A and B are shown apart, each in its own frame.
Chain A
């Protein structure tokens, strides 16, 4: 017996969760702090760059 495919509502909820605007802050934030802890200066500045770019999300 095959499992039923997720309905459009479930797909919509999944899409909303995966595109949550706060999610992309978490990854570079963790990366920046982890890079700083390991003295990885270049990676830390790259992560700070990504955070700075994403922080302009509301800018039009």
Chain B
């Protein structure tokens, strides 16, 4: 194995929380409110519920081969050539996911915080920080995550605690007034991103020190992250209302702008932006790590630290060309991405698990 480090189950939970909250916290209220309107919060409960089923699937797969890395599992069940090709598709999936997460941050910075800075420079600086973190290995960035998670929780509580007096309960009515179809329509992209993307964390599975407890740690992480995302969707709908939420690109940021206590505590939104700087950093780090390590496994390399810097060039270019405009971004996020991530996050793992079960039976009976 390339990675020598080990992480404890609770550290894995922390990585799951940061990965799931990731860039989703920034954009999800608008996507949900666009389709489900007043019922966005119901859709935001369906997401983690389905996510738990995915976690069960990943745990079954990870438990079957506790000593094998993800690429080795794929190669073992699908054979050298088909398995290799599928592994390379996975490498690309993790890589493009990283590029899109980076682009979310770049778009946020150039539209809200630094409007005159070219997006390339923000991406380059951010990727340099990611590479300097990821080059130190899994254990080091996991411990960094441990230091940063309390800050995410603190800022998040700050955001939630200072807003209740602006809640308008009318914004929740009518409940399921448009039927169940809009709720399902809104839930689908939310299931696709981030919950189907959790397959990325299966790459870290063999490095969790206590393999039996990894599944529970995974599920707890998804539940906590799902609750955080539920709270942000609920608060956004209650404060801004579904109409304003749906037309914003970054509704959580607009929400933070609403914080105003006695003409004294004002303009704290950039501190709030710290939440998604941290979560996006770790989501991108995990995606980048997963794609590089998997690539190294496909080619059976002895080390992969040397590949981070050269891959950074392609990551930045890919993040720049991926979204030519906002309409394109919106179409991909709401209509296309969920099917792509469900293919890699559910369909292929199901096929791999099915094949491995069949093979075991065949070997046992003969």
Note whether A and B form a binding pair: no
Residues of chain B having any CB pair with chain A under 8 Å:
none
